Amino acid sequence: MSDTLIDEIADGIYRLSTFVAEVGPTGFTFNQFLIDDDDPLLFHTGQRMLFDSVSEAVATVVPIETLRWITFGHIEADECGSMNQFLAAAPRAEVAHGALGCMVSLNDLADRPPVPLANGQVLELGTHRVRHIDTPHVPHGWEARVLFEETTGTLLCGDLLTQLGQGPALTSNDVLAAAAQAEDVFGASCLTPTTAPTIRALADLDPNTLAVMHGSSVTGDCSGALRGLADDYERRLLNSTAA
Ligand SMILES: [Fe+2]
Ligand SMILES: [Fe+2]
């Protein structure tokens, strides 16, 4: 029996969520997103220790051997720890990432050669269209990127708007205070002069749904949530350099 919860948060886009009580002061969710289409795409694999649970959850939506694309935001265990286990389980699957991430890490780490994507390049999945967007060092990692599913307006935004604890799969409530609390606890975000402008450019996509890696996904005023996050990070950066 899988410990991973499954919710459809947009048309054909499933959130697979595993709660780990030991992480952080109130536990932490690790979420993957599966786009069900002719060429199914997984965004985030989870850590190697989660492979059995996550792959069982994937299999309730699509046969695991039909996975076509293994994707994630940046190189970290929760993003891509079980990448090679998924490549082994899905013979036609390929890792697709930004060209920089392929050059710096994935050509070496991935058991099959990854597919390098140019900034703005689109993967056609069948009905869904997924655009690759480079976001260097946002939220962290030189090779960082996000994906934007254009037909549903779903931004697969990874660690942006991370929240502690376990909330609903999807919320239209304001999550900015929760995101600020998580940043206070973990200090995970790379705060540079380009952080806020990069997040504001994502807000300009005017997404309908934000698929969040840790915590609830967001619907409603998504661009407002991203702009609020950018403002918070900008304040933190300015405060750190004001002394
Ligand atoms: Fe991360
Ligand atoms: Fe993460």
CATH of the domain at 21: 3.60.15.10
pLDDT band at 2 (very low <50, low <70, confident <90, very high): low
Range of the domain at 221: 5-242
Give 242's pLDDT tier (boundaries 50, 70, 90). confident
Give the per-residue pLDDT at 243: 66
Taking residues 160-175, what's their average pLDDT? 97
Instruction: Give distance in angstroms: CA of 32 to centre of ligand 1.
Output: 13
Distance 65 CA to ligand 1 centre (A): 27
Residue pLDDT, tens place only, 48-98: 999 999 999 999 999 999 999 999 999 999 999 999 999 999 999 999 999
Mean of the per-residue pLDDT values for the chain? 97
- Note the pLDDT tens digit of each residue in 89-111: 999 999 999 999 999 999 999 99
Q: Over range 177-192, report the average pLDDT.
A: 97
Q: Are 72 and 97 in contact (CB under 8 A)?
A: yes
Which distant-in-sequence residues (6+ apart) come within 8 Å of 16 by Cβ?
4, 5, 6, 31, 32, 33, 34, 54, 57, 58
DSSP for 179-220, please give it. HHHHHHHH--S---TTHHHHHHHHHTT--SEEEESSS-EEES
Average pLDDT over residues 195-224: 98
Structural domains of the chain, count:
1
Token code pair at residue 59: 């299999």
Residue in the structure block whose two tokens are 């996550």: 54
Q: In the prediction, which pLDDT does 3 show? A: 87
Sequence-distant (6+) residues with CB within 8 A of 229 are 160, 161, 176, 179, 199
Ligand 1 midpoint to CA 88 (Å): 24
Do residues 94 and 70 make contact, with C-beta atoms less than 8 angstroms apart?
yes
Ligand 2 center from residue 22 Cα (angstroms): 15
Q: State in Å: Cα 80 to ligand 2 middle.
A: 10
